[in-house]
Amino acid sequence: MSHKEIVLLLLLLQKKKKKPLLLLLLLLLLYLLLLLLLLLLLLLLLLLLLLLLLLLLILLLLLLLLLLLLLLLLLQLLLLLLLLLLLLLLQLLLLLLLLLLLLLLQLLLLLLLLLLLLLLLLLLLLLLLLLLLLLLLLLLLLLQLLLLLILLLLLLLLLLLLLLLPLQVLLLQVLLLLYYYYYYYYYYYYYYTTTTTTTTTTTTTTTTTTTIIIITTTTTTTSTTTIIITTTTTTTTTTTTTTTTTTTTTTTTTTTTTTTSTTSSSSTTTTTTTTTTTTTTTTTTTTTTTTTTTTTTTTTTTSTTTFALATATAISITIIIIIMMMMMIIIIIAILFHHYHHHHHHHHIIIIIIIIVIIIIIIIIMIIIIIIIIIIIIRIISIIIIIIIIIIIIIIIIIIIIIIIIIIIIIIIITITIIIINNNNNNNNNIIIINIIIIIIIIIIMI
């Protein structure tokens, strides 16, 4: 019954009977019961559906489990196949790795051989450089010996000039005195004259004591050379003035006889005239000698500090100074000879000779100083060459050690290759790994 029908039924009952409420309640109760039954049925149906769904789910789960089991079986089968393939691949990979290792070892061997050749070439070049440096050092030593010999000869020449300077002056004085006596005897013998001759003789004795102290400080970058030259010059000047006064008186007597004969017819007249000339020579010589001795002592101390980079400039400046001094010497000699030529002062020759000898001595001293500077430069260059030779020897020793290590590594690589080949033939991979580990440990120990 539907809801409308129940309502209509209740209304009809209410119209026909006087007590419809009870019936209505009964009907409502019935209606509620029916509704409850329907609800129960619905719940049962729903529960049944749920049970069916659960059963379906269980079936599905069972199906899924079966599928999973099947998949697991297939997966196991695949895994077994993969394991077999992996075993095969591992063997192949092991063989490939062994081949790759052999190739790498061969490449390393070739590189080491190339490095060995380069090191041998470098060693040869260093040996040639060492030989050239030794030859250069030998040449520098020979040059130093030659300069020392030249220095010795210059010192001997300087000593000889200093010793012979008074003798030269004395010899010139004697020659000039002889020349003066001859000159005055030849021109003034037949005349009456009074001659005063003044001869001034100057003897200069110069004693030079030179002390040279050379201090050389050499570092890895610079070289400082300090030259302290102490020159003590003692000049002794002896001036001898000789004044000679000669008075000559000449008296001449002349005898002249003149005979005059006059003859006439009656008589003969003879006249005789006699003239007598008498010559008297009186010579008076007065000699006055004055000797003056002057001693002058001069001490000069010169300190020169030069660096190794400035020695060439110092030598150039010294050479320029020598050239200027030689030009001054030529100018002084030309002026003195010009004065001598016009005024006939013969004693200027002594001054010229003395000046020339002193200038020669100064030039020799400057040449000695230049030679000493050159010897110092050669010493510095020799020290630098010796340091370079020591460095080259150290580099050669290091290269030889590297070559020995490379040869040992090459031997180890060859040994590893032989072991790998043998173990590959014997299929003993564990021994290969152990041998490789041992060889690596040996290489580490060698390094």
Higher pLDDT pick, 233 / 197? 233
pLDDT at 128 over 70: yes
Highest mean pLDDT of the ranges 57-71, 203-217, 286-300, 335-349: 57-71
Residue 32 structure tokens:
């509620």
Cβ burial of 225 (10 Å; 0-12, 13-18, 19+) is: buried
Q: pLDDT confidence of 236, banded at 50, 70, 90?
A: low
With residues binned 3-state (H G I as helix, E B as strand, rest as coil), the percentages for the chain, rounded to 5, are: 70, 20, 10
pLDDT at 396 over 80: yes
Q: pLDDT confidence of 28, banded at 50, 70, 90?
A: confident
Cβ burial of 416 (10 Å; 0-12, 13-18, 19+) is: buried
Tell which residue, 336, 354, 329, has the closest CA to residue 170: 354
**8 Å CB contact between 369 and 314:** no
The per-residue pLDDT for 421 is 67
pLDDT at 39 over 50: yes
The per-residue pLDDT for 191 is 39
pLDDT digits (tens, 9 = 90+) for 89-123: 777 777 778 778 777 877 887 888 888 888 888 88
Residue 343 structure tokens:
């005024």
Cβ burial of 112 (10 Å; 0-12, 13-18, 19+) is: middle
The per-residue pLDDT for 194 is 46
pLDDT digits (tens, 9 = 90+) for 156-191: 877 776 676 666 556 656 665 665 565 555 544 433
Over residues 181-207, mean pLDDT: 52
Highest mean pLDDT of the ranges 7-21, 86-100, 167-181, 225-239: 86-100
Over residues 275-281, mean pLDDT: 57
- Matching residue, tokens 């001598």: 340
The per-residue pLDDT for 60 is 92
pLDDT at 307 over 50: no
pLDDT at 80 over 50: yes
Residue 141 structure tokens:
């030593």
Return the minimum-mean-pLDDT range out of 69-78, 103-112, 211-220.
Answer: 211-220
- CA–CA–CA angle 375, 377, 380 (5° rounding): 110
Over residues 345-352, mean pLDDT: 56
The per-residue pLDDT for 218 is 47
The pTM assigned to this predicted structure is 0.39
Q: CA–CA separation, 427 vs 396, rounded Å?
A: 45
Over residues 47-71, mean pLDDT: 90
pLDDT digits (tens, 9 = 90+) for 397-424: 888 888 888 788 877 877 777 776 666 5
The per-residue pLDDT for 67 is 92
Rounding to the nearest 10 degrees, give the CA dihedral for residues 109, 114, 117, 122.
-130
pLDDT at 391 over 80: yes
